[in-house]
Amino acid sequence: MQATSLDDAAAPAAAPVPARNPWLRLLLLPLVILAGMGLSVEAGLLGPLGVQVGHLWATLSIFGVGAALLFLLLLLSGRQQGPAFSELPRWQLIGGFLGPIYVVVLTLATPHIGIAMTMIAILSGQVGKSVLIDHFGWFGSARKRVNGERWLALALIVAALVLIARG
Amino acid sequence: MSLILLLVVVVAAGAVLSVQAAINGRLGETVGVLRSSLLTFAVGAVVTALLIVFFEPAHAVSLLDVPKWQLGGALFGVVYMMVMVGAVPRVGTAVATVAVIVGQLGMGMLIDNFGWLGNPAIELSGSRMLAMACLALALLFMYRSNTRQA
C-alpha cells in the first residue's frame, strides 16, 4: 500500500541532501529499484490471495501485518518527535481511509489485467489527477494554467489505457 | 466486471492513492514517517475489519489455510517505505521516483509473463509494450514541465 508519489517528484524536495559520494548513489539506486520491484511482488501476492480468501481478507492481511510490523518498529525506535495525533487537524488523519480503497482495487484488478498493466493504470490515475486538479483548481488548490506538455502527457496516458483495454 | 469498467476503477484508485500520498506526506512531515505510516496501516486495518464483519460473505478458504508466503505482501510495503526514507534525500525525489517505477513495471512484466506467485501468465504483447512506452513518454513530459515551472 504505497504510492510512487509523482506529485513529490514535481515539487522541489524540501531539504535535498545531495550525496557527495557518487558511489553511494550507485549503491542506493539498485536498492531503490529493488524496493520498487517489491511493490509489484506485493501486488502479485495480493491478487491470487484475494481470489482464494476474498478481497477484503487479503486487504486485511496487508494492513494487519503492516500495522503490527510498524508498531514493533516504532516501539523499538524510541521516543518520537512531533505532536500527538489528537492535536493534528482531523483531515490529516483520513489517509488511512483511502488506503484500503487502493489495496482492494489491486486485489480486484491484477487477476484480470495483470500486474504491469494495473501499475500503469494506477500511475495514469496519479498523473491524470494532478493535471486535472491543476487545470480546474479542484479541492481548493490554486487554478494553474496547464501547459502543452502536461496535456500531451495526459493524452499519452489515455493512449496507454486504450492499449491496455484492447489487450 | 467488464474490462473498461475495471480500468476506470483502477485509474480512480490511482487518483485516490495520490491524494492519500499528499495527505500522508504532510502528516509525515509533522509526526515522522514511522508514526504516519502506523496510523495509515492501523486505520486501514480497522476499516477493513469493519467492512469484513458487516459485508464479507463466508469463504471456504481462510487466511490461515493459505501457504504462509502468500501473506508476506506487507513486508515489501514496509521495506519499500524504509528504503525510500533512507534513499530519497540522497539520490533526490525525481531519480528515486523513476527508479521505483522502473522496478515496479519491470517486475510486474516478469510476474505477468511467467505467471509467478500463482498469477495467470500473460504474454508480453506488442500493445502492452506500446502502452508502457506511452507511459514512459508521459512521465518524461510531466517531469519536463515540472522542472520548467520550478
Residue of B nearest to A15 (CA): B89
CB contacts, 8 Å: A110 with chain B: 119
pLDDT digits (tens, 9 = 90+) for B95-149: 788 888 888 888 888 898 898 998 888 888 888 888 888 888 888 887 777 776 5
Q: Same domain, yes or no, for B71 and B26?
A: no
* Per-residue CA distances from B31 to A15, A135, B144 (Å): 17, 31, 32
With CB atoms and an 8 Å threshold, state whether A44 touches B72: no
Residue A107: CB partners within 8 Å, gap ≥ 6?
Answer: A46, A47, A49, A50, A55, A58, A59
pLDDT of residue A7 exceeding 60: no
Round to whole Å and give the CA distance between A139 and B114.
Answer: 42
Q: Same domain, yes or no, for B36 and B83?
A: no
Which whole number is the average pLDDT over A37-51? 92
**Encoded amino acid at B2, one letter:** S
**Encoded amino acid at B143, one letter:** Y
| DSSP states of B78-133 | HHHHHHHHHHHHHH-HHHHHHHHHHHHHHHHHHHHHHTGGGPPP----HHHHHHHH
Residue of A nearest to B31 (CA): A82
Q: Same domain, yes or no, for B95 and B147?
A: yes
Q: Same domain, yes or no, for B19 and B69?
A: no
Q: Same domain, yes or no, for B125 and B78?
A: yes
User: Minimal Cα–Cα distance from A107 to chain B, Å?
Assistant: 10
Residue ranges making up the domain that contains B53: 1-57
Q: Same domain, yes or no, for B10 and B25?
A: yes
Q: Nearest by CB to B11, from A10, A53, A121: name it.
A: A121
Q: Same domain, yes or no, for B39 and B83?
A: no
Q: Same domain, yes or no, for B48 and B78?
A: no
| A38, A1 contact by CB (below 8 A) | no
With CB atoms and an 8 Å threshold, state whether B134 touches A35: no
pLDDT digits (tens, 9 = 90+) for A122-167: 888 888 887 777 777 666 666 777 778 888 888 888 888 888 877 6
| Domain total of chain B | 2
Q: Same domain, yes or no, for B42 and B74?
A: no
pLDDT of residue A12 exceeding 60: no
**Encoded amino acid at A158, one letter:** V
Closest CA to A73 of B18, B93, B82, B109: B82
pLDDT digits (tens, 9 = 90+) for B10-60: 989 988 888 887 788 778 888 888 898 899 899 999 999 999 999 988 888
Q: Same domain, yes or no, for B88 and B134?
A: yes
| DSSP states of A106-156 | HHHHHHHH-HHHHHHHHHHHHHHHHHHHHHHTGGGPPP-PPPHHHHHHHHH
With CB atoms and an 8 Å threshold, state whether B66 touches A100: no
Residue B116: CB partners within 8 Å, gap ≥ 6?
Answer: A44, B110
pLDDT digits (tens, 9 = 90+) for A86-112: 888 888 888 888 888 988 998 999 988
C-alpha cell at B118: 500463482
**Encoded amino acid at B37, one letter:** S
Residue of A nearest to B135 (CA): A157
* Per-residue CA distances from A39 to A35, A36, B60 (Å): 7, 5, 28
Burial classification of residue A151, based on how many CB atoms lie within 10 Å of its CB (0-12 exposed, 13-18 middle, 19 or more buried): middle
Burial readout B124-133 (b: 16 or more C-beta within 10 A, e: otherwise): eeeebebbbe
CB contacts, 8 Å: B33 with chain A: none
Q: Same domain, yes or no, for B47 and B92?
A: no
For chain A, percent of residues with pLDDT exceeding 90: 25
Burial classification of residue A110, based on how many CB atoms lie within 10 Å of its CB (0-12 exposed, 13-18 middle, 19 or more buried): buried
- What does pTM read for this prediction? 0.83
Which whole number is the average pLDDT over B56-69? 90
Which whole number is the average pLDDT over A11-17? 47
Q: Tell me what pLDDT residue B118 has.
A: 87
Which residue in the block uniquely carries the three cell numbers 469463504?
A: B59
Q: Same domain, yes or no, for B36 and B80?
A: no
Chain B contact for A72 (CB, 8 A cutoff): no
